[in-house]
Amino acid sequence: MSQDAPVVFVVDDEKLVRRALERLIRAAGFEVRSFASAQDFLRAERPDAPACLVLDVRLPDLSGMDLQQELIRTGDELPIVFVTGHGDIPMTVRAMKAGAVEFLTKPFRDQDLLGAIEQGIKRHRADRQHRREVLALRHCYESLTAREREVFPLVTSGLLNKQIAVQLGTSEKTIKVHRGQVMHKMQAASLADLVRIGEKLGIRRSNPASGLSQRFRYNHSRPLLFKEGSS
């Protein structure tokens, strides 16, 4: 299976239900992998592909709602379509607030399920593309020197070269060189483009009104810039 071919995971403890869902989803053109429990799903190796999880609420041991929370805890953004014969409004609200694509109560129309799956896969494909773009930008950012990383947020704040020079205690000519290197290394075609890149990386803009020279460090665990000494 190619990395762009979507896959649908089904987790339901009733064998007949799993088989029926498999037939329906496969007939719609999707690859399907089914599991009888949340634990089986968590232990399984998943392909690197756009995906969606069709998840029953009531499962042995670890419930569907518990599995959703576990995926959130581990940072797994796999879209979930809940299906249940025992849903209620509070449960539905909780699942949707936690990011579920849909919450379907049995019996449901086949098209409702397939539509929700398509929506989930579309969301996951967009999330994957965004993560790839951010990863590539992080690699570009790592190529910047320490001084260029200081210049980056000042440039995206709209400061002129001479204003940046004053804040960093250097010459306008030197800042012009650093600014050009930032634009080149970050592959930014314009200032607006660099601003969008900074937003994707979570780089905070400097406050031009503060008039203070600020030094920044890059936190590798979170794509944000922080003042030295901050937590």
pLDDT tens readout for residues 172-217: 999 999 999 999 999 999 999 999 999 999 987 766 554 443 444 4
- What tens digit of pLDDT does each residue of 29-84 get? 999 999 999 999 999 999 999 999 999 999 988 999 999 999 999 999 899 999 99
Percent of the chain beyond pLDDT 70?
87
Beta bridge partners of 219: 224
Q: Which amino acid is at 77?
A: E
- Residue 143: count of CB within 10 angstroms of its CB: 11
- Token pair, residue 15, equals 């064998």
Fold of 143-227: Arc Repressor Mutant, subunit A (1.10.10)
In the chain, the DSSP E strands lie at 7-11, 31-35, 51-56, 80-84, 102-105, 216-219, 224-227
Residue 61 backbone dihedrals phi, psi, to 5 degrees: 65, -90
| CATH 3.40.50.2300 in the chain, residue ranges | 7-138
CATH fold for the domain made of 7-138: Rossmann fold (3.40.50)
Residue 128 is encoded by which pair of tokens? 């994957």
pLDDT of residue 106: 86
The mean pLDDT of 82-93, rounded to a whole number, is: 86
CB-neighbour burial class of residue 195 (10 A; exposed 0-12, middle 13-18, buried 19+): middle
Q: In the chain, list all ranges with CATH 1.10.10.10.
A: 143-227
Residue appearing with tokens 């994957």: 128
Distance CA 82, CA 137 (A): 35
Q: What is the pLDDT of residue 148?
A: 96
Mean pLDDT confidence for 123-136: 94
